[in-house]
Structure 1
Amino acid sequence: MQKSNVVVIMKEYASNKRIKDLLKIINPLLTQKEDNIRVHLESLVNNLITEEEYRVIETKMKLGKLCLDLEKIIPYSYATLLFYDKEENKIYHGAAPNIPLHNFEFFNEVNDKQLFHEMICGKAISSGNIVYSEIFSDPNCIHERTISKEQGYKSVWSIPFFQEDTIIGTFAMYQTKRKKPTKKQIFLAKQKVLEYKKEILHLSNNLLSNEV
């Protein structure tokens, strides 16, 4: 049966150990512009991973490249792409090549306890606008501190993206400095995310079309 939502697929594979282990290897290579990763992955199909798992990893790799591209215009920043499930009011990891996967395990508790609305990304999604906060001086950034203590992040801002008028996710920018984005950076980030939207939808639809 075909799945109707890319979030469903991302959710199913969030706890897949083989995918997690491969992403731990692939993400560092991706940040070093190792473009032959796809060749290595193809050799694993029907050997160590299934074709379905391969498609999920390949999609995460391509989404990861969008994160890396966005980081280029925002100094001292590390991007993560999150998908939003409106019906469940939950978020699911899409990509974050420069942030270790285990840092996002706290999302499980956030989702289980329905605390997403308390996070900066939740506020960005509910308002439909970019939201910025300094993590350790903002009493509302309780959950963001989980990831920030280990990685040394000082501030975070969230940029939602849409499908028509529906918010389908957000790019969270974790920064190692307390630095509010300038008007120019906000403009550039919005333009970039608008450019990415078509690619995100294409990748999502391609992943869904292969699900049976």
Structure 2
Amino acid sequence: MRLAKKDKSFKQIPFIFYTSTHVEESDKNVAYKLGADYYLINPIDASKLLPIINGLFKGNQLNSKLKKQNKQTGEEVLKLSNSLVDSDVEQKNIDLGNKLLEQEKSEKLLISKNQILDLLTENTPLNKIFDHLLLNFESIHPDYYSCISLVDKDESHLVLESAPSLPKSYSLAIKSLPIIMNSGSCPTAAFIKRPVIVADISTDKLWDKHKDVALQHGLKSCWSIPILSKDKTVLGTFAIYSKSIKSPTINEIREINFAA
């Protein structure tokens, strides 16, 4: 841009820096130091764009004062430009790393689902299939403890079928729970047929009856997803516990739904 402005044939042509990624104040300053006449962030109202361009062609450069204040040597401008590029590359590397991580998680979940289909064809006991599913899920999320409960024949209680990583004493405490409101995440999820997210067991009213035993085992949050048949009959619940106070991210919600 600076070289172009030195060319007499381009001298009267204003340069507009138009971006949707470089939106920080430091980015704006670098643009002006590189010789931009105006700085625009995408999106912009089309009705405002034309008056700005007309103003620049008429010599009404609204940012000339700022440009004079920020006038620096070529070496200083090069340093700022390199800093901006380095920052952009670093962010892109982070984004790429996150994308690859999410792709790896999706591939593991798909492999797990295919393995479960193989176990089904081999007449593997249901609780063993559940163990396999949960251990695969926990291998992707090592900070979580998962469990699956099924509705009993009377359709009145949830019976714990698989909890490979939960403390045995806690598993015994939740072996059979009545399907009622305000009795923990899983019974409530089965009762209302909707996901129940409890980020803090110690303060959520849903856990008033059971929080003591959960907290004794260091469990601080619990998210439960009802397992429904095609006709919306509740078959059971899929629950995730954590020793941290937290809610699931958007990506985690997608994975939970995929796993359930």
TM-score (norm 2): 0.46
Q: Which has the larger Rg?
A: 2
Partner of 1:84: 151
| Secondary structure at 2:205 match in 1 | coil
Q: Distance in 2 between the 1:68 and 1:92 partners?
A: 19
Asked if 2 retains the 8 angstrom alpha-carbon contact of 1:81 and 1:171, the reply is yes
Counterpart secondary structure, 1:104: helix
1:61 lines up with 2:61 in the alignment: no
Q: Report 1:14-93 matches (<5 A).
A: 58-74=125-141, 76-85=143-152, 87-93=154-160
Q: Does 1:120 align with 2:193?
A: no
Q: Which one of 148, 163, 169 corresponds to residue 102 of structure 1?
A: 169
**CA distance 1:110–1:143, shift in 2 (3 Å):** farther
Letter paired with 2:256: A
Unpaired segments ≥5 residues, structure 2: 1-122
User: Secondary structure of the equivalent of 1:140?
Assistant: helix
Partners of 1:124 and 1:130 within 8 A in 2: yes
1:176 pairs with 2:243? yes
TM-score (norm 1): 0.56
Preserved contact between residue 73 and residue 188 of structure 1 (Cα < 8 Å) = no
The corresponding residue for 2:93 is none
Match of 1:167 among 224, 234, 241: 234
- Give the residue type in structure 2 aligned to 1:148: A
Q: Are 1:135 and 2:196 matched, yes or no?
A: no
Residue 39 (structure 1) aligns with? none
Rounded to whole Å, the distance in 1 between the matches of 2:136 and 2:236 is 17
CA distance in 2, matches of 1:154, 1:128: 23
Indicate the structure whose relative CO is greater, using CA pairs within 8 Å and at least 6 residues apart: 1
Report if the CA contact (8 A) 2:222-2:242 is conserved.
yes
Q: Percent identity at matched positions?
A: 25
Q: Give the corresponding residue for 2:8.
A: none
The size of the alignment, in residue pairs, is 136
| 1:89 and 1:116 in contact (8 A); partners too | no
1:157 equivalent in alignment to 2:217: no
Rounded to whole Å, the distance in 1 between the matches of 2:217 and 2:205 is 19
8 A contact 2:225–2:239 mirrored in 1 = yes
CA 1:142 to 1:63, structure 2 compared with 1: closer, same or farther past 3 Å?
same
Contact 1:80 1:96 in 2 (8 A): yes
